[in-house]
Copies of this chain bind each other. A is one copy, B any other.
Amino acid sequence: MDITLRSPLDMHLHLREGDMLDLTVPMSAQHFAGAVIMPNLVVPVDSLHHLKNYRQAIESYCHQEDFRPYMTLFFKTYSRQELEECGTHILGIKLYPAGITTQSEAGVSDFSAIEETLVHLQELKIPLLVHGESDGFVLDRERQFLDVYRSLASRFPDLHIVMEHITTADAVALLDEFDNLSATVTLHHLMITLDDVMGDLLRPDLFCKPVAKTPRDRNALRQAVFSGHPKIMFGSDSAPHPRHKKECIGCAAGVFSAPVALPLLAQIFEDAGELDLLQGFVSTIACQRYGITPPDKKVRLTQAPWQVPSYYNDVSPFFAGQMIRWSVQSAP
């Protein structure tokens, strides 16, 4: 059996920089019509100048016309003029609480100091993408942050706020409270719980922020996604780290799922008996929520089993060494 996806989108992607782009860009460009590119480089992408250079670097590794990198700026206080100049160069602004994940040291530490920038964003119709975690106990961080979402969503009702990579039943429920909230969900949070990360041997390849949660939380995510929740989009949060940053004492957070994202999504949607909802999750809902029109691209998936490599260069991917029933074929 084959299925054809129209213009699949990865609404949360870490391509990294430098040589890593040689691995990450062609991979996502082959499978997707577009991706939302995260700005947390070693030096955060927090100016239009830096953003243009970064997009140029990405495009130099991209040999396909039908892949669009949707760029984001790292949140800081921006003037209205700075944001106006960004215009169509950016899809949104990505907000990190300070120190909460990889290269987020320059993030927001005082939410009361960012009001003016939020006013600009709302007026200019620039979406706000948020890594929503507090600095509390690791399993409570997302839940504790929900009140920040509530506050932002109610005080800026015309600001489109995207709760990135949600992992909890409580976050799913919050979507119902405010029209201007959307969310992304990763592949791995649909598949794993904390048991997979540390229930048997410890798995640095499955360690990410937010950390995988309880079976109850995963079930809530699956129930929402496999019922076609109209505000939940796919965002892989694929985040490669080289082996020496993973297999060590003090291992970096991030699951490298880009190479397996579409095939595994097909598999889990098929297992849920909801394969016809995959198109919405990986494209249609994102187009609606963001009001974007990605390149017209058809990606064919076919039921041809393959074994995921243990490493791509020196990055261990999600599902390493395991079999996946679906493969991405070239465009039809």
> Given A137-B194, A138-B194, A198-B207, 16 other A-B contacts at CB below 8 A?
A137-B193, A137-B199, A138-B195, A138-B199, A139-B139, A139-B194, A202-B202, A202-B251, A202-B252, A202-B253, A203-B249, A203-B250, A205-B249, A247-B248, A249-B316, A249-B320
Instruction: For the complex, give the distance between the alpha carbons of A202 and B202 in Å.
Output: 9
A242 at the interface (CB under 8 A from B): no
Judge whether A240 is part of the interface by a CB distance below 8 angstroms. Answer: no
A207 to B248 alpha-carbon distance, docked (Å): 13
**Interface membership of A1, Cβ < 8 A:** no
The one of B195, B205, B211, B215 in contact with A198, judged by C-beta atoms closer than 8 angstroms, is B211
Main secondary structure on A side of the interface with B: loop
Closest to A99 in B: B200
Task: State whether B201 touches A252 (Cβ < 8 A).
Answer: yes
What 6 A-B pairs come out closest when comparing CB atoms?
A: A202-B251, A201-B250, A138-B199, A202-B207, A247-B248, A247-B247
Chain B residues near A195 (CB, 8 Å)? 137-138
Which one of B138, B199, B215, B251 contacts A204 once the chains associate, using CB atoms below 8 Å? B251
Cβ-based interface call for A219 (8 A): no
